[in-house]
Amino acid sequence: MKPPVLSDVVKGIRDLPSPAPVVMELIRSFEQEDISTHAVADKVSRDQALAAKTLRIANSSFYGLQRKVTTIPQAITVLGFDSVRTLIVSAGVLDAFAKNRNDAFDISAFWRHSIGTALCSKFLARALNLNQDQAFISGLLHDIGRLVLATCFAEHYAQVIAYRNTHDCFTQDAERAVLGFEHGMVGKTLSEHWKFPPLVQRAISDHHQPLTQDLGGITSVVHVADAIVHGLDLGGDEHDLVPPLSDAVWKSLQVAPGMLAVVFRETENEFEGACRVLGA
Amino acid sequence: MKRYKLLEPDEVEPGAVLFEEVRDAQGTVLLPAGTTLTEALLKSLRRRGVEALCIVNDEISEAELAAERERWKNRLAVLFRRCESDTAGKTLMQYLIDYRVGELR
């Protein structure tokens, strides 16, 4: 079986179903300043499934709202446009991939790790005074390349997983050995195709090795959050392995033990609820 | 098994002790860890819309706690098995051990 080459990956990504148009519009709007929240609220409200899911997340314990929000405009008023946009994009991307189930790849375990990383990135960002919404969306999508590979090249990806289990190595090493490239690059291609902002693109493509320019930034937060979530054992996979943690990245965030203990506990406490509302 | 229970304010009896601080949605501390909850405090937390409280769980025996601490130390050594040469990885592993053991003290 001939392994896929990069051009196959690009073709595979083009053939994937995109998220709903309003979700794509919101992804592109991360870079725009003059977006009409009114028009967005209107479009999302018309997509009943998406609106319902967004409201379910907004009303979960995650935001600790005193009163339930019942409409999208109300959610925007209470939580702010940036948070609601993050919710809608999260729900929309999960839905786009939900249509592509395959038996060889445990998609539920995949999203559970992604949601754990999203939460942990958000709480780390809050402790470090970085943008929590960027951290959440970057954490949620950091491994999206893995999902693309498992969706578009299921048989090859089954070989990657078999290789990893036999050699007890990091998944990215198994990908390099079997495919010749790794999921960060695939995720980067997808995030360019879907026009995520450059900052999120870099968090996806470089989360295993953040660039110097991203030391202390969101990509670094995701790098550390990924390791923390594996270390918290949220996935419960017997063969799970904490990925390598870069000394330079770790130092750049200047995390204190007391602060991390709070991040650990918040991540654990919110984890099951967040998986439930996001449907993973 | 955890040294704490996560409960809604309505499920908590007066006299219960907070395992961790209570924060509002903005992250402001409302009550510190170790506070013994009274009916008045519980009422005020409900009024502020607090949905979950982290309460000390006093139903676990010392032997169970010790076994659980040991289990976590072994599990973390397995999870971090490829990080032996990695300073940051070792530091994170130690923080996680402290966190787990601290939760089970």
Average confidence (pLDDT) over A258-280 = 89
> Which of A132, A167, A153, A15 minimizes the C-alpha distance to A62?
A132
User: What pLDDT is attached to residue A100?
Assistant: 64
Q: Mapped to the 3 state alphabet, what secondary structure does chain A carry?
A: CCCCCHHHHHHHHHHCCCCCHHHHHHHHHCCCCCCCHHHHHHHHHHCHHHHHHHHHHHCCCCCCCCCCCCCHHHHHHHHCHHHHHHHHHHHHHHHHHHCCCCCCCCHHHHHHHHHHHHHHHHHHHHHCCCCHHHHHHHHHHCCHHHHHHHHHCHHHHHHHHHHHHHHCCCHHHHHHHHCCCCHHHHHHHHHHHCCCCHHHHHHHHHCCCCCHHHCCCHHHHHHHHHHHHHHCCCCCCCCCCCCCCCHHHHHHHCCCHHHHHHHHHHHHHHHHHHHHHHCC
Average confidence (pLDDT) over A227-244 = 92
Average confidence (pLDDT) over A82-87 = 90
How far off is chain A from B37, nearest CA to CA, in Å? 20
Give the integer Cα–Cα distance in Å for A85 and A21.
14
Given a cut of 90, is residue A187 above it in pLDDT?
yes
- Residue-wise pLDDT for A9-28, tens only, equals 889 898 888 898 999 999 98
User: What pLDDT is attached to residue A6?
Assistant: 81
- Residue-wise pLDDT for A28-41, tens only, equals 888 777 888 888 89
Given a cut of 80, is residue B3 above it in pLDDT?
no
Q: Which range, of A34-38, A190-194, B38-42, averages the lowest pLDDT?
A: A34-38
The interface pTM score, or ipTM, of the predicted complex is: 0.89
* CATH topology assigned to domain B4-56: Molybdopterin biosynthesis moea protein, domain 2 (3.90.105)
State which residue of chain A sits closest to B6, comparing Cα positions. A269
Residue A80 near chain B (CB below 8 Å): no
Band (pLDDT 50/70/90 cuts) for residue B86 is confident
Band (pLDDT 50/70/90 cuts) for residue B48 is confident
Band (pLDDT 50/70/90 cuts) for residue B52 is confident
- Which among A170, A224, A233 has CB closest to B75? A233
| Under 8 Å between Cβ of A13 and A149 | no
User: What pLDDT is attached to residue A98?
Assistant: 77
> Which of B4, B72, B104 minimizes the C-alpha distance to A231?
B72
Distances (CA, A) of B64 to A180, B71, B97: 48, 11, 17
Average confidence (pLDDT) over A128-157 = 94
Output the pTM of the full model: 0.86
User: What pLDDT is attached to residue A214?
Assistant: 94
Q: Domain segments of chain B: what residues?
A: 4-56, 62-103
User: What pLDDT is attached to residue A242?
Assistant: 96
- Which among A126, A260, A269 has CB closest to B6? A269
CA angle A225–A226–A230, rounded 5-degree value: 110
Asked whether the beta carbons of residue B95 and residue A170 sit closer than 8 angstroms, the reply is no
Asked whether the beta carbons of residue A246 and residue B88 sit closer than 8 angstroms, the reply is yes
Band (pLDDT 50/70/90 cuts) for residue A238 is confident
| Under 8 Å between Cβ of A77 and A65 | no
Asked whether the beta carbons of residue B80 and residue A231 sit closer than 8 angstroms, the reply is yes
> Which of A279, A269, A263 minimizes the C-alpha distance to A120?
A263
Asked whether the beta carbons of residue A242 and residue B83 sit closer than 8 angstroms, the reply is yes
Across all residues in chain A, what is the average pLDDT? Answer: 90
Average confidence (pLDDT) over A122-146 = 95
Adjacent-strand bridge partners of B56: B4
User: What pLDDT is attached to residue A102?
Assistant: 67
> Which of A75, A65, A91 minimizes the C-alpha distance to A41?
A75
Structure tokens at A29: 């709007």
Q: What's the number of CA atoms in the CB half-sphere (13 Å) around residue B28?
A: 4
- Which among A63, A230, A265 has CB closest to B20? A265
Give the integer Cα–Cα distance in Å for A254 and A264.
16
Asked whether the beta carbons of residue A227 and residue B102 sit closer than 8 angstroms, the reply is no
Given a cut of 90, is residue B92 above it in pLDDT?
yes
User: What pLDDT is attached to residue B18?
Assistant: 93
Residue A63 near chain B (CB below 8 Å): yes
Band (pLDDT 50/70/90 cuts) for residue B1 is low
Given a cut of 90, is residue A234 above it in pLDDT?
yes
Q: Is A190 exposed, middle or buried (0-12, 13-18, 19+ CB in 10 A)?
A: buried
Task: Report the percent of chain A where pLDDT is more than 70.
Answer: 97
Q: DSSP class of residue B17?
A: B
